[in-house]
């Protein structure tokens, strides 16, 4: 009876559960779980650098960019460097990664301070996806990492053809519109503020010396994109 109870307890242990969840998500059974626990630990949960995923995020970002770059190089043999660079940028940018991470269900596995509601609107899940790529590399090596990125990321969640035909760089769209129509347009960083423990950035769009609209996000680049999207919507209504 004791052996049976021990086997049942082991079957439902946190390690077994995490291993099963990761196997479903990754497409293979992980060997060394500590790598993956680290990848899923946000600094709001563990401020100690050795216990959060920031270093793994750095590693995963490097491999993700290289593998996506190779994939695009082979997929589009007649496209120039500028096209390939733009496509890679669209695929590995924070907005895309965060969207994919949420569709994967990664937000259910990431350990973070759930009392801070601001994290739900941040990019911590996309960052965790990068850290997960780093964990796969340490656990399985480059070949398995490449397979994971192509099959479980690109093929499963990225419509490269649709992305190629859709321009979601609102800032570039707005700048092109202003240049074509001979308007004076500029992006100005407004006074920052805090949302809980997070610093928020606001970027204003000044059109012909008048403030047209503002956009707010967790970094200046995203705030500029939010503002540009709002500006394009306002222009379309005129």
Sign of torsion over alpha carbons 92, 96, 101, 103: negative
Domain with CATH 1.10.1520.10 in the chain: 12-165
- The pLDDT tens digits of the residues spanning 137-185 come to 999 999 999 999 999 999 999 998 888 777 667 888 898 899 999 999 9
Catalytic hit among 57, 80, 120, 130: 130
- The pLDDT tens digits of the residues spanning 120-143 come to 556 789 999 999 999 999 999 999
Q: Is 191 a catalytic residue?
A: no
CATH of the domain spanning 12-165? 1.10.1520.10
User: How many separate helices (H) and strands (E) can be counted in the chain?
Assistant: 12, 4
Helices (H), 40-141: 54-75, 81-92, 94-104, 124-140
For residue 222, the tally of other CB atoms under 10 A from its CB is 19
Catalytic hit among 47, 54, 61, 233: 61
Q: Please say if the pLDDT value at position 11 is more than 90.
A: no
Q: What are phi and psi of 235, to 5 degrees?
A: -65, -40
Q: Please say if the pLDDT value at position 3 is more than 70.
A: no
For residue 6, the model assigns a pLDDT of 46
What tokens were used for 73? 């190089």
Domain with CATH 3.30.160.20 in the chain: 170-237
For residue 5, the model assigns a pLDDT of 45
Q: Is 130 a catalytic residue?
A: yes
Contacts of 138 (CB under 8 A, 6+ apart): 32, 35, 56, 59
What tokens were used for 106? 């990664």
- The pLDDT tens digits of the residues spanning 98-114 come to 999 999 999 899 887 66
CA–CA gap between residue 227 and residue 213 (Å, rounded): 6
For residue 123, the model assigns a pLDDT of 79
pTM of the model: 0.70
Average pLDDT over residues 232-238: 87
Task: For domain 170-237, say whether CATH 3.30.160.20 is its number.
Answer: yes
């Amino acid at each position: 009876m004791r052996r049976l109870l021990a086997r049942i307890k082991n079957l439902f242990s946190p390690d077994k559960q995490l291993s099963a969840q990761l196997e479903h998500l990754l497409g293979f059974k992980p060997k060394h779980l500590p790598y993956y626990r680290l990848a899923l630990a946000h600094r709001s949960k563990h401020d100690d650098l050795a216990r959060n995923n920031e270093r793994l995020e750095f590693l995963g970002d490097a491999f993700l960019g290289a593998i996506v770059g190779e994939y695009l190089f082979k997929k589009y043999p007649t496209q120039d460097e500028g096209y390939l660079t733009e496509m890679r940028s669209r695929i590995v940018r924070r907005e895309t990664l965060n969207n994919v991470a949420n569709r994967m269900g990664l937000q259910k596995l990431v350990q973070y301070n759930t009392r801070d509601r601001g994290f739900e609107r941040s990019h911590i899940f996309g960052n965790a996806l990068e850290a997960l790529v780093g964990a796969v590399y340490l656990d399985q090596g480059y070949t398995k990492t490449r397979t994971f990125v192509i099959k479980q990321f690109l093929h499963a969640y990225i419509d490269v053809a649709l992305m190629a035909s859709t321009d979601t760089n609102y800032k570039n769209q707005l700048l092109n519109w202003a240049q074509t129509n001979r308007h004076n347009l500029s992006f100005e960083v407004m006074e920052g503020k805090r949302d809980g423990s997070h610093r928020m950035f606001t970027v204003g769009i000044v059109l012909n010396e008048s403030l047209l609209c503002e956009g707010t996000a967790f970094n200046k680049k995203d705030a500029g994109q939010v503002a540009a999207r709002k500006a394009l919507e306002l222009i379309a209504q005129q």
